[in-house]
Amino acid sequence: MDVQRRKDKESQKKAHLLIYALTVFYVMTYILIVLVNRLSLMGISMSSIVGLDISVNTLSGTLAALGGVACLIMTVLDWRVGGNIAMGLIAVSTISVFLRVFVDGNINLMVGIAAFALNFLSVCLCRYGMKKSDEKADKDYLTGLANRRCLIVDLTALTKGGSRFGMLYLDLDNFKYINDTFGHAAGDQVLIEVADRWQEALPKEASIYRVGGDEFIALVPKTENKPADFLTKLACEMIDAVADRKFGGQQGDKYVTASIGIVSYPKDATDPELLVRYADVAMYHAKNTGRNKWGVFDESMSHQIAREYELEAIIREAMDKQWFYLVYQPQFSAGEKKLRGFESLLRLRTDKGEFVSPGEFIPIAEKSDLIFAIDEMVIRQATRDFREMINVPGNTLSLSVNISAKHIVEPGFVETVKKILEEENFPAGSFEIEITEYCMVESMEKAIEAMNRLKELGVILAMDDFGTGYSSMSYLSRMPIDVLKVDKSLVDNIGEGQKKENQFVNMIISMGHLLGASVIAEGVEDESQLSLIRAAECDYVQGYIWGRPMELDLATELIEQSRK
Ligand code: C2E
Ligand code: CA
Ligand code: CA
């Protein structure tokens, strides 16, 4: 936004410079016209002045036409500044010629007045056309609401005005699902209806703008005389305006919910761009606490944004300077403690020795799309590290990597996996991909399709963090999953006397078996957890009790021992 605004300002400056140059040019042509006519009245011929055999009328006509063209160019460059100057110049010229008709009694000059009038008319028409198209550019083509450009203009004006106002950042929660399921035309129809509902729900003095695909911003001016909870109440009304209502289109009922972020001027920020960014952050917070909610911006969120920016810079630098490395955590059969394989886990250590945990950097990498490059790097490094140990006759060990669910639905992902496995000479049957169920909710159909294609390659598929509950049974039964990993948070809760928690984990394990998958319990730390896991007939164990994530040389040793 900032860059765009700077560019706009620069090109506006250039246009204004050109307009001033054209104004000087116009004044000069006008002076020349007057001069030529004066000299001709004094009986001095044109050929003696310009060296050409040319009549006074032709010469003044040509100069007037050039002046007219200059006026039109000014108007096109900037209909406000250029158009106004052009109209002013033509008006002054017309009046002065008009006066001379009376003072000099030169009726011939009436022709000049007609020419100026025509010139004036064409500038007016051009100015009007430019104004209309500018107004159109301030509108969103789909919903007819004002657009982002318009928002910035209004927001800047409001911040300059100085009185308090509020901003709501509105975002639909499941719009991607509607687009994916019903198609883009249906999605557009939903957006139009949502825009109408929100426009109706807002108080008269407020305005709403469409600023992105399914993102809207509402500006609520003059909040100083309103009750303290005015904005949050309004956010509730905006949420209610769309929640639990059917939206149009022929291919079935569509429901949408919205998440809203709230900021106040000047309490949260005074800079227009910061206000928008903070409102966006507050909206994301609301979304993360479970969608269909509003959230008010607070100070701690700005610290979080600062940290996110810092982390993104660290990740970029880490890619560049190879601060990433992999560790491998062993998995064993629950009964005999036989080595099953390893899960690769990514680590980041900066050149200053600062460790950043994947729990912190992976979500940032996902947000900024850096995850695509990271996942590829991990697949390549892990397969390279393990290929010699895996490529032995009778090998039963597997190597798993974590892949962001956002990545597996990306076009070309399956081909990338295939290519790396071929290039690194790694057997697909020993390669496992772990995906979390939670991220797949948004585009389940696409995820299932990608999983099926991965299965065709021969890759093993594992569902990570299972039991944290997002997928419905109907989706799960359609997924070609080989392994389910019971989430560590569930294993953390089990133990003697934890009847309910133990039963829940039992049920999750049985469910995995029912779906035809093997089950790995993750995060097993002590004997009591282990015995409960064994009693529940869980197939494999991955946890500190039997092995922490380790560097490659230790993993190699473990493999060698297991093969003795
Ligand atoms: P995850 O895939 O669920 O990985 C398991 C996490 O639990 C790992 O944390 C592991 O060190 C930890 N863990 C395993 N057993 C125990 C235990 O007994 N006790 C305790 N306290 N922790 C245990 P880590 O390495 O910090 O990874 C966190 C998450 O970051 C992973 O969760 C995964 O979602 C993500 N991640 C890690 N490496 C990668 C990667 O290469 N690519 C992607 N896309 N995500 C990764
Ligand atoms: Ca994992
Ligand atoms: Ca997990």
Walk along the chain (564 residues) in steps of 10 and give the mean pLDDT of each run.
59 90 94 84 73 78 90 91 92 86 76 84 90 78 88 92 94 86 86 94 94 94 89 95 77 82 94 92 87 89 85 96 97 98 98 95 91 97 97 97 90 96 98 80 79 97 83 78 94 90 94 95 96 97 98 98 92
121 found inside a domain? yes
Task: Assess whether 462 and 489 both reside in one domain.
Answer: yes
Residue list, ligand 1 pocket, CB within 6 Å:
329, 344-346, 357-359, 362, 375, 378, 402-404, 434, 464-465, 488, 522-525, 542-544, 549
Task: Assess whether 78 and 153 both reside in one domain.
Answer: no
Q: What's the pLDDT at 50?
A: 67
Listed residue (409, 408, 468, 475) closest to 438, CA to CA: 468
Dist. CA 343 → ligand 2 center (Å): 7
Task: Assess whether 331 and 284 both reside in one domain.
Answer: no
Ion ligand 2: residues, Cβ under 5 Å: 402, 434, 464
Q: What's the pLDDT at 124?
A: 92
Task: Assess whether 128 and 154 both reside in one domain.
Answer: no
Helix (H) / strand (E) containing 347: strand 339-349
Dist. CA 156 → ligand 2 center (Å): 46
Dist. CA 344 → ligand 1 center (Å): 9
89: left (phi over 0), alpha (psi -120 to 50) or beta: alpha
Q: Please state, in angstroms and rounded to a whole number, the distance separating the CA atoms of residues 342 and 339.
A: 9
Strand partners, 219: 167, 207
The answer to whether 271 and 279 are in contact (CB under 8 A) is no
Q: What's the pLDDT at 174?
A: 81
CATH number, domain with residue 506: 3.20.20.450
Task: Assess whether 153 and 130 both reside in one domain.
Answer: no
Of the listed ligands, the closest to the CA of 328 is 1
| β-bridge pairing 355-356 and 339-349 | antiparallel
Task: Assess whether 209 and 237 both reside in one domain.
Answer: yes
Dist. CA 520 → ligand 3 center (Å): 10
Dist. CA 391 → ligand 2 center (Å): 23
Task: Assess whether 285 and 374 both reside in one domain.
Answer: no
303 found inside a domain? no
Which ligand 1 atom sits closest to the C-alpha of 357?
Answer: 26
CATH number, domain with residue 276: 3.30.70.270
Q: Which of 345, 374, 409, 431 to mutate to test the pocket of ligand 1 (most atoms within 8 A of CB)?
A: 345
Dist. CA 300 → ligand 2 center (Å): 30
Q: What's the pLDDT at 440?
A: 57
The answer to whether 488 and 522 are in contact (CB under 8 A) is yes
Q: Domains in the chain: how many in total?
A: 3
Which ligand 1 atom sits closest to the C-alpha of 346?
Answer: 38
Task: Assess whether 349 and 447 both reside in one domain.
Answer: yes
Tell the residue nearest (CA) to atom 33 of ligand 1.
402
279 found inside a domain? yes
Ion ligand 3: residues, Cβ under 5 Å: 464-465, 522
Listed residue (154, 129, 149) closest to 139, CA to CA: 149
Tell the residue nearest (CA) to atom 34 of ligand 1.
402
Residues 6+ apart with CB under 8 A from 59: 36, 46, 50
**Distances from the Cα of 289 to the Cαs of 40, 260, 349, 350, in angstroms?**
85, 12, 30, 31
Whether the ω angle into residue 266 lies within 30 degrees of 0, i.e. cis, is yes
401 found inside a domain? yes
Q: What's the pLDDT at 438?
A: 58
Q: Which of 323, 331, 342, 362 to mutate to test the pocket of ligand 1 (most atoms within 8 A of CB)?
A: 362
Task: Assess whether 343 and 444 both reside in one domain.
Answer: yes
Final residue of a structural domain among 268, 297, 326: 297
Task: Assess whether 225 and 329 both reside in one domain.
Answer: no
Listed residue (547, 440, 457, 530) closest to 494, CA to CA: 530
Of the listed ligands, the closest to the CA of 405 is 1
Domain that holds residue 497: 308-562
The answer to whether 279 and 261 are in contact (CB under 8 A) is yes
Task: Assess whether 124 and 174 both reside in one domain.
Answer: no
Dist. CA 466 → ligand 3 center (Å): 7
- What the block records as the tokens of 43 is 């009986």
Final residue of a structural domain among 118, 137, 156: 137
302 found inside a domain? no
At CA 561, angle to CA 560 and CA 564, rounded to 5? Answer: 90
Question: Exposed/middle/buried for 546, CB within 10 Å: 0-12, 13-18, 19+?
Answer: middle
Task: Assess whether 526 and 440 both reside in one domain.
Answer: yes
What pTM did the predictor assign?
0.64
Q: Please state, in angstroms and rounded to a whole number, the distance separating the CA atoms of residues 112 and 37.
A: 12
Final residue of a structural domain among 297, 329, 355: 297
